Amino acid sequence: MSETTNLHPGLSVDCVIFGFHENELKVLMLKMKQMDKWALPGGFVNIKEDVDKEAINILQRRTGLKDIFLHQFHLFGNVSRNNQAYVDKLVKKGVIEPDMKEWFQQRFITVGYYALVEFANVQEPTPDNISDKCEWLPLTELPDLILDHSEIIHKAHQTLKTQLIYQPIGINLLPEKFTMPELQALYETLLEKELDRRNFRRKMLAYDILIQTDERRKGGAHKAPILYKFDKDKYHQAIEKGLKSGW
Amino acid sequence: MSETTNLHPGLSVDCVIFGFHENELKVLMLKMKQMDKWALPGGFVNIKEDVDKEAINILQRRTGLKDIFLHQFHLFGNVSRNNQAYVDKLVKKGVIEPDMKEWFQQRFITVGYYALVEFANVQEPTPDNISDKCEWLPLTELPDLILDHSEIIHKAHQTLKTQLIYQPIGINLLPEKFTMPELQALYETLLEKELDRRNFRRKMLAYDILIQTDERRKGGAHKAPILYKFDKDKYHQAIEKGLKSGW
DNA sequence: ATTCATTGTGTCGTATTGACACAAACATAA
DNA sequence: TTATGTTTGTGTCAATACGACACAATGAAT
């Protein structure tokens, strides 16, 4: 794609794709070619395409997933986020073709989206044309990132934590059926704090968005926990109405 | 400003400026020249300027106010929000100069900001160069708006309502000193529902962000209510920490 | 059969919330 | 000066939600 005339000038989209695995929150990242730096999956916006749609496209190209929860959370529009030296470097290293140099030298703003995906559903994370790896990295120990991508991830995580106050979460981050301890582990990871097992169950059940199945997760070395699934109607209603009225 | 080369292409900023007066939530709107349509105060972004800063500039130019609460809430990026016929119309009516036509014909995305301002502080709302009036209009009975400005206002209001769950509000929307019933009226207006007088007071005081003065609002036909002011330190702490932990 | 970590259920005291009643204050009218 | 009407300040009470616990049930491993 050395053709940039169809792209919205100075505009990019970056996706913070969260996955949950082994009680750790992970982020899907791309390793830049020729550099020891990582970047968020992102891309540009076709003039004839909705910005939201391009975010969906990016998510799909990197993960193969469709119909995923994707939420626009912020526009990063500071002048300081642009870096000419960085573009020069990329051209010199051959990561960017010379005829694309002018495009990359524009002042860019980027729209941040975050997605929640079920870790196991992503079969093969796929690098794009400026990266050579696409991997899940733990949120807590991220390597050097390009530009302001650290800040973007941080803001995504903060937004997610705040949304947890008044919205349910779990669909897309957990498998179809899951146990109460698994759901709790998700919340504890997102919130970065421990919760009381019994109070968590009580409160979560009070939300009335779970359906108890008659199955249990076998194979663990201990008491087999009950499997639950989300009542999708009530779940989405809860997102609309909000869990807390507050007032 | 027929000079567009310094502007970020295809990017605009729109501000939903809320004011509170006579128990009504109002929005500062501009009446388009030569048309029976209204628009949000907005503008373009200089290449060398932060997007947030341009929003601040717009707010200042229309209201004369500085240091105001201003919150970026959404990027509107659908292709459908652009309208060529509308641009043609503006050029024909002489609202837009012909040499600006090309600029306006771009596909535009817009960043939405909302601001909360104390109604009385805005001395003279000032129109810009494509409008001939600048007035406060009640949120509940808005006239015909250009493009998707209705949607932008709606989204701003919704965001505001949601933020009310976990953040205090009032500074910038109320005078320095205010009564409890006035604060309650603000909440009721924002939330579009009535609240119990006594429970409201109890909960609000429990937030511990108010300072009771020893003055009362005189002149009303009834018992003179106590004047309160915000404890700005605690107020801003509450914004940081959030009023509800949720979990 | 015993062990042991984990899960399901329940209790108890406290804090928060929703629904009320009542007295005090203040301009206006008499 | 007093009475009136409405609004404001304060308090009560029951229902609910919440934080901190104890205990029994389960199931693979020993």
What integer is the mean pLDDT of A206-227? 95
CA B191 to chain A, closest CA, distance in angstroms equals 8
A132 shares a domain with A53:
yes
- Choose one of B135, B163, B191: the last residue of a domain: B163
Identify whether A219 is part of a domain: yes
What pLDDT, in 10s, does the model give residues A111-146? Answer: 999 999 988 888 889 999 999 999 999 999 999 999
Name the band, by pLDDT with cuts 50, 70 and 90, for residue A242. Answer: confident
In a domain, B229, yes or no: yes
Averaged pLDDT of chain A = 94
- Token pair 């502007």: residue: B7
Contacts of A187 in chain B (CB under 8 A): 247
How far, in Å, CA of A217 to CA of A178, rounded? Answer: 8
Q: Are residues B131 and B232 in the same domain?
A: no
pLDDT band at B244 (very low <50, low <70, confident <90, very high): confident
Is the backbone of residue B153 left (phi > 0), alpha (psi -120 to 50) or beta? alpha
Neighbours of A155 (CB within 10 A): 17
- Same domain? A76 vs A184: no
What pLDDT digit, counting tens, does each position of B95-142 carry? Answer: 999 999 999 999 999 999 999 999 888 988 999 999 999 999 999 999
Domain of B132: which CATH number? 3.90.79.10
- Domain-located, residue B2: no
pLDDT reported for residue A11 = 98
Please give the share of chain A, as a percent, with pLDDT higher than 90: 86
Residue B81 lies in a domain: yes
Q: Please tell me what DSSP assigns to residue A222.
A: S
φ, ψ of residue B191 to 5 degrees: the values are: -85, -10
Q: Tokens in use for A232?
A: 């999708």
Specify whether A35 is located in the same domain as A146.
yes
Looking at the structure of chain A, the number of domains it has is 2
pLDDT tens, position by position, B167-211: 999 998 999 999 999 999 999 999 999 999 999 999 999 999 999
Cα separation, B170 vs A197, in Å, equals 38
**Confidence tier at B2 by pLDDT (50, 70, 90):** low
Are A36 and A115 within one domain?
A: yes
Domain boundary pick from B138, B163, B188: B163
Predicted pLDDT at A125: 94
Could you tell me the residue range of the domain that residue B188 belongs to? 176-241
Point out the nucleotide closest to A221 (alpha carbon to C1′).
Answer: D28
**Structural domain includes residue B171:** no
Statement: residue A235 has pLDDT above 80: yes
pLDDT at B245 over 80: no
Contacts of B202 (CB under 8 A, 6+ apart): none
The reply to whether A127 falls in a domain is yes
Q: How far apart are CA B134 and CA B59, in angstroms?
A: 12
Residue A211, φ and ψ in degrees, nearest 5: -115, 125
In percent, how much of chain B has pLDDT > 70?
A: 99
CA of A114 to C1' of C7 (A): 33
Q: Which of B102, B130, B163 is the last residue of a domain?
A: B163
Burial class (CB in 10 A: 0-12, 13-18, 19+), B142: middle
Check whether residue B144 and residue B236 sit in a common domain.
Answer: no
Q: Could you tell me the CATH number of the domain that includes residue B236?
A: 1.10.10.10
pLDDT band for position A220 (50/70/90)? confident
User: Is B169 inside a domain boundary?
Assistant: no
Is the domain of B57 the same as that of B109?
yes
Answer whether residue B1 shows pLDDT above 70.
Answer: no
| Domain shared by B224 and B128, yes or no | no
Q: Is the CB of A224 under 7 A from strand D?
A: yes
Give A47's pLDDT tier (boundaries 50, 70, 90).
Answer: very high
CB contact under 8 A, B109 and A51: yes
d(CA A59, nearest CA chain B) in Å: 17
Query: Could you tell me if B187 lies within 8 Å of chain A, comparing CB atoms?
Result: yes
For residues B76 and A44, what is the distance between their CA atoms, to the nearest angstrom?
Answer: 16
For residue A192, the distance in angstroms to the closest alpha carbon of chain B comes to 11
- Residue range A147-187, pLDDT digits in tens: 999 999 999 999 999 999 889 999 989 999 999 999 999 99
Same domain, B132 and B191: no
Residues B19 and B121 both lie in one domain:
yes
Q: Is there a single domain that holds both residue B155 and residue B182?
A: no
Query: Is B168 part of any domain?
Result: no
pLDDT the model gives residue A227: 98
Co-location of A45 and A102 in the same domain: yes
Q: Is residue A98's beta carbon less than 7 angstroms from any atom in nucleic acid strand D?
A: no
